[in-house]
Amino acid sequence: MQQQFDVTDFALWTALVTPFDDNGQIDFDNLSFLIEQQVAAGNGLLLVGSTGEGLALTESEQESIVRFVCDKAPATPIMVGVGGFDLTAQRNWISRCNNLPIDAYLLTAPLYAKPGPIGQTQWFRALLQASNKPCMIYNVPSRTGTELSPWALAQLLDEDNFWSIKEASGSPVKFSEFKKALPDIAIYSGDDALLPEFSLLGAAGLVSVCANVWPQATQLYVEQCLSTSQNTAFNLWRGAIETLFSVANPIPLKVLMHQLGQLNSPLLRAPLTQEELTCLEAITQAHYQITQWYQSQTRNDVNS
């Protein structure tokens, strides 16, 4: 039986990419390699989220990924993305996953509909009550078109499965509003570059894109962000992270991982395409900088 984990023990969750072969099919051998990388670094796994192109996958493809990872029984927790606009479909997806040895869900606001606070409360309450796992609620207005209301989420404090928030609006003000309205709810940064700032406001950790390509270095970055308010490396990380968002995520990420041999193919699902990234110099330089930084940090640890 797969080990069950306490999700509160993990400060870093990697929003895992979905590897495809050159024919556009899920590359499960490559997925196995990616899982091993993350387990070795001690990072939690988030499957079929936006970085994993979850909404470009069929329901059967999503389920095949989750079942494959569960069958691997990795020595790290598994979180599953829940996203879309059909409440019945989302509840059914949660119901199917409830029977699998996963550890948490990431719940996203309904796409396109732009509900107000009352609709948000009703939507998330329905999903929380469908789940038998801890749930992280995801504020990402750039993708959903909906800015989550701190008041709405505060109405959900009576739901035992409401564990945390992933704040990805890019606003320290919004982070502070959530923290004030929900002081006992863990808040994770959904923006790699803002973790140093969010850490000062009480962040519990990071749901990361860049941990895909730099799993161990990102683990160290998170540790340092959560333990110190001053670090000259934070500016280096901010610049490197920005290169991974020069065009829509996960395009630069997949291109860089392919360059490094971590992905067999850089292929994405339409409407995303690697052809959007016309210059590779910035991501190549970013990788060099992060690699040099990590090597210097680990040398210092050995010599100290």
Question: Residues 105, 133, 166, 294: which is the catalytic one?
Answer: 166
- Is residue 238 situated within a structural domain? no
133 is catalytic: no
- Six-digit token pair at 226? 């959560």
138 is catalytic: yes
- For 226-236, letters b (16+ CB in 10 Å) and e give beeeeeebbeb
Continuous segment of H or E residues that includes residue 287: helix 281-303
pLDDT tens string 101-111: 999 999 999 99
Continuous segment of H or E residues that includes residue 153: helix 150-154
Q: Please tell me the total count of domains within the chain.
A: 1
- Is residue 16 situated within a structural domain? yes
Question: Residues 105, 138, 221, 294: which is the catalytic one?
Answer: 138
pLDDT tens string 60-84: 999 999 999 999 999 999 999 999 9
pLDDT tens string 10-51: 999 999 999 999 999 999 999 999 999 999 999 999 999 999
Q: How far apart are CA 2 and CA 254, in angstroms?
A: 29
Q: How far apart are CA 206 and CA 226, in angstroms?
A: 10
- Is residue 18 situated within a structural domain? yes
3-class DSSP string for 212-252: HCCHHHHHHHHHHHHHCCCCCHHHHHHHHHHHCCCCCCCHH
- Is residue 216 situated within a structural domain? yes
Q: Are 241 and 193 in contact (CB under 8 A)?
A: yes
- Six-digit token pair at 275? 């052809």
Tallying the residues shown for the chain, one arrives at 304
Give the residue-averaged pLDDT of 170-199. Answer: 96
- Is residue 258 situated within a structural domain? no
Handedness of CA 258, 262, 265, 267 (dihedral sign): negative
- Is residue 285 situated within a structural domain? no
- Is residue 64 situated within a structural domain? yes
Instruction: Find the domain containing 197 and state its range.
Output: 7-229
Instruction: Supply the Cα-derived Rg of the chain in whole angstroms.
Output: 18
- Is residue 62 situated within a structural domain? yes
Mean pLDDT over all residues of the chain? 95
Q: How far apart are CA 188 and CA 8, in angstroms?
A: 11
What's 133's domain CATH number? 3.20.20.70
Q: What is the pLDDT of residue 1?
A: 46
Contacts of residue 272, defined as CB under 8 A and 6 or more positions apart, other chains included, come to 53, 56, 248, 250, 251
Q: Are 49 and 19 in contact (CB under 8 A)?
A: no
